[in-house]
Structure formats: structure tokens, C-alpha cells
Amino acid sequence: MHLASGASLEPIAGDDTGGTYFLCEGTAVLHASSDGYASLLADSVGEALEILVRLPAWCVNVSPELDEEGLLAAVREGDDEAREEFAPELDAQRAALISGLGLPDRSLVELNALSESATRRTEPDYLLLNSDELCAYQLEESFRQSLRDVVLGPGREALERMRSGDLGAWEEAAADPVLRAGVLRAAQYDRHDGDLPLLRFLLEHENAARTEWFEERRLAAVLVALHGQDGDVALLRSATAGQVTDSAGAVEWARAEEAKRHGRDVIAESEFTWIELAHRQGRIEHARVALIRLLDDTGPDADRLRELSRALERIGDHAQAARAQFNLLSLQDTAWDRASEAYVLARLERRKGDLAAAGRALERARAAVGADGTTPDGAVPQWHRRGLGRLITEQHLELTLAAVEAGDAELARTTMAHGRLLLDTIGKESAKALSRLSTRAKWAVVGLRPPGA
């Protein structure tokens, strides 16, 4: 097991049902049950001992609305059952532990609140993964954070400040495209009649910035166009590349866009919208948790797996991206698609550090196009003269360099041999574009010790 965040994880104790207690980053205590659930128990070993001794497992995270008497009753009920079944000396043992460990005389209400607070902070920093399969341990839905609410929080707060006339909020939105994106999303789902001036302001800045995030520019244009004001036509024409030419057409265009992608139902919004915004906000662990949870729940859906693979690669989680890509590759029916997804898998496996797996992926790419000397059914005609040939060749050269650096001489030589054949096969322009990389790879292999030396 390991934490998705990469933070340290040390097993320190077990329980009688096969579960394990872990020390995370030297302080917090995480409990993983034998039935696949894991949650943060406490912020320290001391607090964990308090909870386990004074608020036994059958009472942890009971309703936070219970008062001291209610919690005492819950503890007594559980204790009575325990005394009958397996712990006749429970009271003496608990008293000895409380005294011997010097545990503080904290109220059960406070102790329960500590436990509940810790559990609610399990995600994103303490998501536990099975290291072999990379699947996540479960956490009860009621304790999981809503990514949508997390990433919309700053935008909602800034929107309210802008509505109140706070000039500082207007300046912040003008200067920060990520905050501006959050404000626009907040305004999309919380529309006020008096918002047109601030929406126009946001659109002006989106239009002037012309960043790669054209989706926000389109959303701002939709929100402005819905008001149907003649004075906004010139701005809308510029923002929509001439799609809007008059106020009546602006409303019609905006309603059509709303129907396609910019409606008012926040629940209907794609989870990838919030994941991308989390990434842009620097909330990498929030994005990672959401993507892993989605991947765990995704079946043989090629489009979803491709989107997950690319999104995981963008946040730098190459292991999870390779997991999604491996499943995606298995769904491909044509030689072109198998080759296209196989070279991507090779790139991801190399970046995650599994060079042997990268080599196997490239073998599948060569087999798909017939570069291994075979003639597969449905082979891609003229693949070597198309971009696919260059991409597959490039991955061979990159893997050669990685293998040399890792000291795997056999893999380096084998991969470079295939790379040379590919360089002789692909189009001249493609080979020329790869000349610098191929030269580096060739000299790197030349510098290896001869076999048997």
C-alpha cells in the first residue's frame, strides 16, 4: 500500500479484524480495514490512543449531534456487548491504559469531534492505494469532499465581493485568469439580474487575454449575450469570432450554447470541469483523488479512459495514467488505433520508470503496424510515411536513452536496434526531424560497455 500523494507511510499496529494502523508523514494515524476502507483516525498517535481506548471502534464517528450523555450511552451499550462476548475485564483494562498512558480527561463529545474532523480530512492527502493494482481504498461518501465546492469556493467568494462593489475583488479578477474562471463558473450557476456589468468586465478581460482557456471566454460571452444588449454586440462579435452580429442573434446563439454546454444545472457539469479547475488552482492532490476515483469506477469505456489517461498525465501521475492507458489499449479494434495508443502507453510507462513495460508497449506498437516484419490483418497502409511512424520511432529513441541512463544495456541495445530500422523506414522529413534525438541515442549506446566486458 502507499499514499496517492507520495507521502511517507509506516505500518505501526494491527487490529483483530485484519486491519492496519499507519503512521503518515511521522504524525497522523490512518486506519485501513480488511474490507477495503481507509480513513484518517487522528492527527497524532496520542490522539489515536485516546480515541481507541476511550471511544472504541463501535462508537467512532457516531452522530456528531450526540451530547456527552448520548455518547456515554453508546459506549455503555457497546461495552456491555464486548464484556459478554470477548472482554470480561474491559473496565479494568481501559482504566489501566488511561492511567498508564497518562491520557487526558477529555470529554467524549470533544474526542468524537476530533475523530470526525480527522476522517473528513482523509482526502485529498491521505488517499490509500493498493500498490499492485493502484486502486483506491474506499471512504464513506458522507466524509468525502465535494471537489466542485472546493474549487468553486474562491470564485463564489470573489463574485459576492464584486457584487458588493469591492474594487479590490474586481482588480483581483482582472489580474488572475484562474480566479476569473472560478468567478465565471460561480456566476453561471448563481445568476443575478444586476450581474451584466461584472459579466461584461470579465468578458472584456477574457477577450483581451486570449489565453488557451477559450472555454471561459465562450462562457463569459454566453452570459453576456443572454442579456441581449445592443451595446455588447461589438464585444461579442470579437469574442465569438463573428458568430454574433446583432443583439437578437446574440440571445439565440447564447441559448443554443446553453443547451449544449453552459446550462444552469451545476450537478450536470462534467467532473472534468472541476478537475481541470483544481489543477489550474494548484490543487493537484484534489485533482488526483477525483481522477483515481473516476478511474476505479470506469469500465470498458474508451472515451472516458482516454480522457482520464490524458488528465492524469497532465497532473504528472504517470502510473495512474498508464493504468488507464493500458485498459484503453485493450479496447482498440484497428491496427492504427492499437499503434496510436500503444506508443502513448510506452511514453507513460517510461515516465513512471517501468522501462521493461515501455519496451513491451513499443513491441505492441510495432506489431500493430507490421514494423516487426509481420503483416497483421488490417495493417495501417503507409504508416511509416505518416505522423504515426515518427511518433513510434521517437518513443524508441527516448526509451533507448532512458535505458542507458538506468544501466539496462540489453534493453538499450535492443530498443536502439529497432529504432535504427524505424529510422530507415519512416519518411525522410520525419527522420530529419528526429536527427538530433537519434544521434544522442546512438552515441549513448556506443558508450555502453561491450557485452561480457
**DSSP structure class, residue 37:** B
User: Do residues 37 and 139 lie in contact, with contact meaning Cβ atoms separated by under 8 Å?
Assistant: yes
As a whole number of angstroms, the distance between CA 9 and CA 358 comes to 28
What are φ and ψ of residue 9, in 5° steps? -145, 120
**DSSP E strand boundaries for 44-153:** 128-129
Nearest alpha-carbon partner for 243 in 213, 223, 212, 222: 222
For residue range 115-126, what is the model confidence (pLDDT) as tens digits?
889 999 999 999
pLDDT at 60: 56
Helix ranges (DSSP H) in 297-369: 302-314, 318-329, 335-352, 355-369
Average pLDDT over residues 98-106: 92
Q: Where are the domains of the chain?
A: 2-142, 147-264, 334-453
What are φ and ψ of residue 125, in 5° steps? -80, -15
pLDDT at 71: 81
What is the SS3 assignment for 33?
Answer: coil
- CATH annotation of 334-453: 1.25.40
Identify the residue whose cell numbers are 483544481: 278
Structure confidence at residue 168 as a pLDDT band (50, 70, 90): very high
User: Do residues 366 and 335 lie in contact, with contact meaning Cβ atoms separated by under 8 Å?
Assistant: no
DSSP for 145-189, written as a single string: --HHHHHHHHHHHHHHHHHTT-HHHHHHHHH-HHHHHHHHHHHHH
Does position 183 have pLDDT exceeding 90, yes or no?
A: yes
For residue range 413-430, what is the model confidence (pLDDT) as tens digits?
999 999 999 999 998 999
Identify the residue whose cell numbers are 468524537: 112
Nearest alpha-carbon partner for 281 in 150, 370, 99, 391: 150
As a whole number of angstroms, the distance between CA 123 and CA 121 comes to 5
pTM of the full structure:
0.91
For residue range 287-344, what is the model confidence (pLDDT) as tens digits?
999 999 999 999 999 999 999 999 999 999 999 999 999 999 999 999 899 999 999 9
pLDDT at 83: 86
* Helix 147-163 / helix 196-209 crossing angle, nearest 10 deg: 110
User: Do residues 69 and 20 lie in contact, with contact meaning Cβ atoms separated by under 8 Å?
Assistant: no
Structure confidence at residue 453 as a pLDDT band (50, 70, 90): low
